[in-house]
């Protein structure tokens, strides 16, 4: 009898709980809708795929994912966003697409959604999102048009954001009593010492192939060494002393790097570190998962992580992806709910536990996450120094980037003089900027 009573009361309590939950369920109105989202094929978004069923379970909103290689994704989005009615409700975009999409008025301003009390979760805690990324990936219309500032507003939320850290071989460093480099001087010195100490091993593997790769590698060094592509008046200053220093740093790294380093793309550079052909790797945080995966890596357990070395300042890269709602989306409100859920403390921790890149300070400090991924604390520290202005995010950047990358490749392979090369880049950049109207007010 007592047992029956207990069971009955349990039933009543759970039924009550269900009704209250249903009453307070902000997702109810949208349950049963199907969102179509466009994500890249990328380790972070592979982790996202694993947590999406959880979202559907909690909210009743179905999610269909169109996962594409990230360069292909950009082409697809460009076509899709220009339609009157788009297919996608939510898109992940690369940082440099922000300028194009916002300028073409194709992304929703998120203010309307965060103002809507039925949609915005009061516990969201936006201040916990990593500042540099929010400005870098989500903001438009602020300082210089692409940074934070009083005139800016939010068009997307960083998701799958990356910064640069230094990975080094603990075993090699211990064996030769080397100190983990903290400054650029030390970095370059050790990079060239390694091949002497460990014959056949390269110092630091870097991307250097013509085009985007070489340019990316150069920019990684430019910010910490105190350089920029433009001054505040949009005049190219890439050929100043800091620029020359950064290009020379890249040259030294490639010369002391593994054999054939001058034609390495990201894949080869990472591959040579995973194979144990180099002692250091200075690039994005997204590789941590692969380095710890015995199927892909021969250096599992041998890699330590440190901050991106300092030049005259700290300045690690800001990259990766953001998520935004296209202007021509069909289910914008449900898309916002998904976006908010993914980037909430809850969602951010879930994706981090699956091996994704968290976007919140709190997730980087979370004990569970740190227990599973001990490097997370270093990554979190590095994020504080992530420089949102390490490369300009303007519509003509693609062209300037390509020129910079091919010219640097000539420096690396054809012995073009560094100063002469950068002077050429600056001159051509000036012409591109002039044509795009950046000097209208001068």
Listing DSSP states for 186-233 in one string gives HHHHHHHHHHHHSTT-EEEE----TTHHHHHHHHHHHTTTT--SB-TT
> Applying CB under 8 A, which of residues 9, 112, 398, 434 lies at the interface with other proteins?
398
Least spacing, CB of residue 112 vs other proteins, in Å: 22
- Helices marked H in 228-360: 241-255, 266-274, 288-291, 332-343, 345-353
Least spacing, CB of residue 275 vs other proteins, in Å: 8
* Residue whose CB is less far from other proteins, 317 or 407: 407
* Residue whose CB is less far from other proteins, 202 or 347: 202
185 CB contacts (<8 Å, ≥6 apart)?
none
208 neighbors 217 (Cβ within 8 angstroms): yes
> Applying CB under 8 A, which of residues 142, 276, 304, 395 lies at the interface with other proteins?
395
Least spacing, CB of residue 321 vs other proteins, in Å: 18
* Residue whose CB is less far from other proteins, 344 or 413: 413
234 neighbors 433 (Cβ within 8 angstroms): yes
Q: How far apart are CA 441 and CA 433, in angstroms?
A: 12
Contact status: 41 vs other proteins (CB under 8 A)? no
Distances (CA, A) of 406 to 219, 239, 258, 269, 363: 14, 15, 21, 18, 39
253 CB contacts (<8 Å, ≥6 apart)?
188, 191, 203, 204, 206, 217, 261
Q: How far apart are CA 198 and CA 385, in angstroms?
A: 32
CB atoms near residue 175 (< 10 Å): 11
Contact status: 414 vs other proteins (CB under 8 A)? yes
> Applying CB under 8 A, which of residues 53, 260, 301, 374 lies at the interface with other proteins?
260
Contact status: 410 vs other proteins (CB under 8 A)? yes
Contact status: 327 vs other proteins (CB under 8 A)? no
> Applying CB under 8 A, which of residues 38, 245, 284, 407 lies at the interface with other proteins?
407
Contact status: 87 vs other proteins (CB under 8 A)? no
> Applying CB under 8 A, which of residues 27, 70, 103, 361 lies at the interface with other proteins?
103
> Applying CB under 8 A, which of residues 38, 106, 343, 429 lies at the interface with other proteins?
106
Q: What are phi and psi of 115, to 5 degrees?
A: -85, -20
Least spacing, CB of residue 278 vs other proteins, in Å: 11
> Applying CB under 8 A, which of residues 259, 293, 427, 434 lies at the interface with other proteins?
259
Least spacing, CB of residue 407 vs other proteins, in Å: 7
Residues in the interface with other proteins (CB under 8 A) total: 37
Residue 111, judged by CB atoms within 10 A of its CB (0-12, 13-18, 19+), counts as: exposed
Contact status: 292 vs other proteins (CB under 8 A)? no
35 neighbors 335 (Cβ within 8 angstroms): yes
Q: How far apart are CA 103 and CA 140, in angstroms?
A: 9
> Applying CB under 8 A, which of residues 25, 78, 235, 252 lies at the interface with other proteins?
78
* Residue whose CB is less far from other proteins, 347 or 405: 405
- Helices marked H in 104-183: 111-115, 131-133, 170-175
Contact status: 81 vs other proteins (CB under 8 A)? yes
Helix (H) or strand (E) holding 167: strand 164-169
> Applying CB under 8 A, which of residues 108, 277, 387, 389 lies at the interface with other proteins?
277
Least spacing, CB of residue 82 vs other proteins, in Å: 6
The SS3 assignment for 159 reads: strand
Contact status: 362 vs other proteins (CB under 8 A)? no
Interacting span for other proteins (CB under 8 A) from 30-38, 258-266, 288-296, 313-321: 258-266
From residue 194 to residue 223, the character string flagging contacts with other proteins as x (rule: CB under 8 A) and all else as - is ---------------xxxx-x---------
> Applying CB under 8 A, which of residues 29, 64, 75, 241 lies at the interface with other proteins?
75
* Residue whose CB is less far from other proteins, 202 or 236: 202
CB atoms near residue 217 (< 10 Å): 28
For residue 91, which of 103, 80, 104, 100 has the smallest C-alpha distance?
Answer: 80
Least spacing, CB of residue 276 vs other proteins, in Å: 12
Site residues (CB under 8 A) for other proteins? 71, 74-75, 78-79, 81-82, 100-101, 103-104, 106, 209-212, 214, 258-260, 262-263, 265, 277, 395, 398-399, 401-403, 406-407, 409-410, 412-414
């Amino acid at each position: 009898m007592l047992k029956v009573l207990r069971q009955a009361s349990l039933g009543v309590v759970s039924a009550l709980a269900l009704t209250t939950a249903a009453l307070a369920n902000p997702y109810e109105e949208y349950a049963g809708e199907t969102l179509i989202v466009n994500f890249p094929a990328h380790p972070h978004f592979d982790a996202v795929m694993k947590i999406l069923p959880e979202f559907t379970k909690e909210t009743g909103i179905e999610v269909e994912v169109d996962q594409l290689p990230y360069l292909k994704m950009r082409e697809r989005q460009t076509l899709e966003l220009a339609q009157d009615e788009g297919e996608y409700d939510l898109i992940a975009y690369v940082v440099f697409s922000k300028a194009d999409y916002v300028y073409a008025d194709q992304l929703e301003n998120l203010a309307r959604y965060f103002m809507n009390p039925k949609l915005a979760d009061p516990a969201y805690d936006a201040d916990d999102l990593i500042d540099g990324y929010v400005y870098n990936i989500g903001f438009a219309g602020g300082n210089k048009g692409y940074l934070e500032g009083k005139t800016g507003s939010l068009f997307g939320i960083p998701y799958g954001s990356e910064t640069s850290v230094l990975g080094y071989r603990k075993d090699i460093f211990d064996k030769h009593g080397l100190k983990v480099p903290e400054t650029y001087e030390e970095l370059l010195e050790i990079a060239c010492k390694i091949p002497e100490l460990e014959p056949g091993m390269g110092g630091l593997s870097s991307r250097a192939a013509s085009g985007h790769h070489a340019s990316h590698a150069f920019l990684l060094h430019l910010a910490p060494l105190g350089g920029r592509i433009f001054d505040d008046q949009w005049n190219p200053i890439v050929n100043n002393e800091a620029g020359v220093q950064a290009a020379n740093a890249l040259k030294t790294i490639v010369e002391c790097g593994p054999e054939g380093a001058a034609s390495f793309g990201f894949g080869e550079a990472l591959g040579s570190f995973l194979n144990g052909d180099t002692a250091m790797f200075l690039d994005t945080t997204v590789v941590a998962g692969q380095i710890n995966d015995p199927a892909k890596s021969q250096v599992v357990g041998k890699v330590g992580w440190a901050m991106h070395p300092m030049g005259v300042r700290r300045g690690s890269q800001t990259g990766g992806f953001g998520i935004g709602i296209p202007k021509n989306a069909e289910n914008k409100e449900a898309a916002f709910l998904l976006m908010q859920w993914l980037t909430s403390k809850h969602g951010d921790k879930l994706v981090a536990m699956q091996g994704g890149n968290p976007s919140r300070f709190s997730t980087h400090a979370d004990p569970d996450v740190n227990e599973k991924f001990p490097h997370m604390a270093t990554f979190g520290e590095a994020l504080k120094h992530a420089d949102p202005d390490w490369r300009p995010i303007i519509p003509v950047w693609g062209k300037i980037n390509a020129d910079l990358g091919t010219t640097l490749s000539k420096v690396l392979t054809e012995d073009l003089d560094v100063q002469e090369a950068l002077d050429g880049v600056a001159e051509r950049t000036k012409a591109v900027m002039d044509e795009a109207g950046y000097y209208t007010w001068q």
